[in-house]
Amino acid sequence: MAKGSAKKEPKVVGENKASTTPFTPARHEIPYDHLLEAKTDARLGKRLRKELGDDKIVAMFGDMVRLRRFEEQAGRAYQRRKIRGFCHLYIGQEAVAVGTMSALGEADSIVTHYREHGHALARGLSSNGVMAELFGKVDGYARGKGGSMHIFDASRNFYGGWGIVGGQIALGAGVAFANKYRGEKSVCVCFLGEGAIHQGIVHESLNMAAKWRLPLITIIENNRYAMGTSIERISAVTDLTKKAVGYDMFAESVDGQDVFSVHAAVKAAADRANNEGRPSFLEMRTYRYRGHSMTDPSDYRSKEEVEQEQDLRDPIVRLRNWIVANKLKSQDELNAIDDAMDRETKDAVEFADKSEFIDPSELTTDVYVEWPFDIE
């Protein structure tokens, strides 16, 4: 679709602009039309190149490509009925996971939703282990007992993978509370979809995080649709940063298709938490290219809308273009990285296929934690 013909955001009726002004934290909304024309900010790119170095930026490209190729393979394996049950692909949202994880340290924690294969891989979990979990096999991160929605690796402070929309934020706030209680300088990042934003638990947790000054970074991955329902249909305001204003919490809308913007926003939020004891609320404006889950025909949005998002905002193409324009690597060198990721994920499918199912005698194990257990 041509730039000029992009659909305008509907005007919000009865909105009281003045109501948000006494608070400094809430930032202005980024209109969708503006995002479609957005380019990577040249100054931000230059700054991050200096801070992170060329190798790390190229590694971020490789990480995003790994996520994309992994999800494509997972989609194919699902169609071959190698993966059963629910499976929610992350294709289109790669910059959010990679930009976030690149800004965190090993001591930081992650609690997330069910669309989490990308978060797990970006956190450093192996393609083999994640794919085996999707296949329900014993070499998976939950020994095949969790499946797609419950990837978990305590050794990397990666605390799942949760299926109840919004419920994980209470766990995230609890982890942040524990970090603070122990006097550790580390944050907990909690990912939610925008569909979770009106759940009561989200508001109870945001309030406590602000009141107790917990090192919690709440990331709303606003991909515009909760299953088949658009954010415009369910929310009185489409600027989700306004939800955090009532808790006097720092809030910002971020271009979630630009890995640099995501990295910078999360890094600033981690510094804010560690240095000032202030939680943050980041709304990442992103988009998913596939349906809600593998069984969703995606007929609630137009083909043109999806194509427009892919053509103008694809996060991988955007970083690829920036890397080539700034001469960090050539197109051919980036293609070689892509090929390597393609091989890695195909190998992961083979690995998962060969891995065994758990013995049926284990079906009732791992349900409860054995008592007594150690509490640090």
Ligand X SMILES: Cc1ncc(C[n+]2csc(CCOP(=O)(O)OP(=O)(O)O)c2C)c(N)n1
In the complex, which residues of this chain contact ligand X (CB under 6 A)?
Answer: 115, 163-165, 193-196, 223, 225-227, 292
For ligand X, the closer of residues 144 and 195 by Cβ is 195
Nearest approach in angstroms of CB 306 to ligand X is 14
Nearest approach in angstroms of CB 86 to ligand X is 9
Q: Which of 340, 303, 301, 335 is nearest to 316 (CA)?
A: 335
Backbone angles phi, psi at 57, to 5 degrees: -65, -40
Nearest approach in angstroms of CB 282 to ligand X is 15
For ligand X, the closer of residues 85 and 105 by Cβ is 85
Q: Which of 347, 374, 364 is nearest to 130 (CA)?
A: 347
**Burial (CB count within 10 angstroms: exposed 0-12, middle 13-18, buried 19+), residue 121:** buried
Answer for the pair 280, 249: CB distance below 8 angstroms, yes or no: yes
**Burial (CB count within 10 angstroms: exposed 0-12, middle 13-18, buried 19+), residue 72:** middle
For ligand X, the closer of residues 113 and 137 by Cβ is 113
Nearest approach in angstroms of CB 291 to ligand X is 10
For ligand X, the closer of residues 97 and 259 by Cβ is 97
For ligand X, the closer of residues 119 and 292 by Cβ is 292
DSSP string, 194-215: GGGTT-HHHHHHHHHHHHTT--
Nearest approach in angstroms of CB 189 to ligand X is 16
Q: Which of 178, 242, 252, 254 is nearest to 209 (CA)?
A: 178
Give the total residue count for the chain. Answer: 376
Nearest approach in angstroms of CB 350 to ligand X is 29
Q: Which of 155, 151, 113 is nearest to 132 (CA)?
A: 151
Nearest approach in angstroms of CB 92 to ligand X is 11
Query: What residue is closest to ligand X based on CB?
Result: 193
Q: Which of 144, 126, 204 is nearest to 172 (CA)?
A: 204
Answer for the pair 153, 183: CB distance below 8 angstroms, yes or no: no
Listing from the earlier edge strand, what are the strands of the sheet with 280-285?
A: 158-162, 109-113, 188-193, 216-222, 280-285, 250-255
For ligand X, the closer of residues 6 and 220 by Cβ is 220
Nearest approach in angstroms of CB 223 to ligand X is 5
For ligand X, the closer of residues 140 and 193 by Cβ is 193
Q: Which of 320, 329, 339 is nearest to 95 (CA)?
A: 320
Answer for the pair 97, 118: CB distance below 8 angstroms, yes or no: yes
Nearest approach in angstroms of CB 164 to ligand X is 5
Examine residue 372 and say whether the peptide bond preceding it is cis (omega within 30 degrees of 0): yes
How many other CB atoms are found less than 10 A from the CB of residue 165?
A: 19
For ligand X, the closer of residues 243 and 267 by Cβ is 243
For ligand X, the closer of residues 49 and 150 by Cβ is 150
